[in-house]
Amino acid sequence: MSSISNPPLHPSILLLNPNSSESMTLGILEAAEKMHLPQRIHLSAYTAPPSSPRSINDGSDLELSTEVVYNDIKSKTLLSAHDAILVACFSVHPLVKALSSLSTNNKPIITGIFESSILTCLSLLSPTGKWGIVTTGQFWEFHLTSGVNSFLGITDPHASNAKFAGVESTGLNASDFHGGVSQEEIRHRLREATRRLLRKGNIECVVMGCAGMAGLEEIIREVAQEEYGEKGKEVCVVDGVRAGVSVLEQAVRSRRAFRGVGG
């Protein structure tokens, strides 16, 4: 367990990595710490036990990681020790719902980097702007598209979403971003996925659809400027972990404001 010590009244957020990769957890912590929040917030991190997948690449991995982490956490005090928990896997992860069933009176507040990224993008878009996701493998294209529509309450699978430009994949796995593939190959794949998304037109926000992509924002920014010129400098590149910390910090403070400090 890693932590940043702060006074107890500051929001306490657990960054929960549902896979068993310690290097992925380190990347998640580093992404959060780049926000320069140590005086305002208390962060700690959790890595799933070894029986959880090292990389979550499909539906089976989602289910297994949920089972492993749920069984590990339900017998511990991690829930009661935090104001909020961020599930740091960019997916419609069943763990968000599973852990919420253990939460008492909505404490801790639990969400994922997927849900947080959607909320962040919607707050950043202009009236005519669009947002989209660059992710890892092809499995996630349908999974994330369906997840966005579900989160926004769009029940018709054939309905269009004027704000959401869709999902483009690199063809890589999450673990590839932490030593599995050369940096040259990662850069090439991410550039091409970003380019396909931007060419859909008027993209104002690009979400990095994998926690393992943390730190690769500049690659996306480069392509945005190549495709859009000077206007490309205005494209927001959304890191799900940082979006999640921001959303949860505000949620905790809002709950305290409207329920009282003890809320």
Other residues' Cβ atoms within 10 Å of the Cβ of residue 125: 17
The CATH class, in words, for 12-113+241-259 is alpha beta
Beta bridge partners of 16: 46, 87
Q: So what's the pLDDT on residue 260?
A: 57
CATH 3.40.50.1860 residue spans of the chain = 115-240
Q: DSSP characters for 159-221?
A: ---SSEEEEEE-S--GGGGGTTS-HHHHHHHHHHHHHHHHTTS-EEEEEEESGGGTT-HHHHH
Q: So what's the pLDDT on residue 14?
A: 95
Question: Residue 103 corresponds to which tokens in the numbers above?
Answer: 């939460």
Alpha-carbon span 241 to 161, nearest angstrom: 25
Alpha-carbon span 231 to 252, nearest angstrom: 35
- Of all residues in the chain, what percent are helix, strand and coil, respectively (each to 5)? 45, 15, 35
CATH 3.40.50.12500 residue spans of the chain = 12-113+241-259
Q: So what's the pLDDT on residue 263?
A: 56
CATH of the domain spanning 115-240? 3.40.50.1860
- Tokens 């499995």 found at: 139
pLDDT per residue as tens digits for the range 199-250: 999 999 999 998 778 778 999 999 999 999 999 999 999 999 999 999 999 9
The whole-model pTM stands at 0.88
Q: Classify burial at 260, counting beta carbons within 10 Å of its beta carbon; exposed 0-12, middle 13-18, buried 19 or more.
A: exposed
